[in-house]
Amino acid sequence: MNQENELNRNPLIDGALKLYVVLAYLFVFAPILASFVFSFNSDRFPSIPLGHFSTEWYRAVAADPLVWDGLRNTLLIGGVVGVVSTALGFGAAYTDYRYRFFGKQVYLALALLPPTIPVVIMGLAMLAYLSRIDLSGNALSVIIAHVVICAPFAMAVIRLRLSQMDPSLEPAAWNLGASEWATMRHVIIPFARPAILGALFITMAVSFDEFAIAWFVSGLNETLPVKVLGFLQGQVSPRINAIGTFVFVTSMTLVILAQLLLSGRGTATGKE
Partner 1 sequence: MQEPLVSFEGVAKRFGSYTAVQKMDLQIHKGEFLAIMGSSGCGKTTTLRMLAGLEAPSEGIIRLAGRPINDLPSWSRDTPMVWQSLALFPFLNVIENVEFALKMRGIGRAERRRRAEQWLDRMQIAEFASRNIGQLSGGQRQRVALARSLVVEPDILLLDEPLSALDAALKVRMQSVLKNLQRETGITFVYVTHSQSEAFSMADRVVIMSRGKIEQIGTPQEIYRTPRTRFVADFLGSSNIFPGQLQQDRSGRAAIATASGHFLLAEDAAASAMPGQSASLTVLDTRMQIHLQPPADAVNMVEARMIGEEFVGATATIYFETGAGQEIRVQKSHEELADLPLAVGRSFHLSWLPADGHLVPE
Binding site for partner 1 (CB under 8 A): 166, 168-169, 171-179, 182, 186-187, 190-191, 193, 267-270, 272
Backbone angles phi, psi at 53, to 5 degrees: -65, 135
Complex with partner 1: residue 8 or 175, whichever CB lies closer: 175
Complex with partner 1: residue 14 or 180, whichever CB lies closer: 180
Q: State the minimum distance, in angstroms, from the CB of residue 188 to partner 1.
A: 11
Q: State the minimum distance, in angstroms, from the CB of residue 253 to partner 1.
A: 25
The single-letter code of the amino acid at 14 is D
Spell 49-64 as b/e; 16+ CB within 10 A means b. eeeeeeeebbeebeee
Complex with partner 1: residue 161 or 227, whichever CB lies closer: 161
Complex with partner 1: residue 44 or 98, whichever CB lies closer: 98
Cis peptide before 190 (omega within 30 of 0): no
CA distances from 128 to 125, 139, 157, 166, 215 (A): 5, 16, 30, 45, 13
Question: What SS3 state is found at 41?
Answer: strand
Report the chain's C-alpha Rg in angstroms.
23
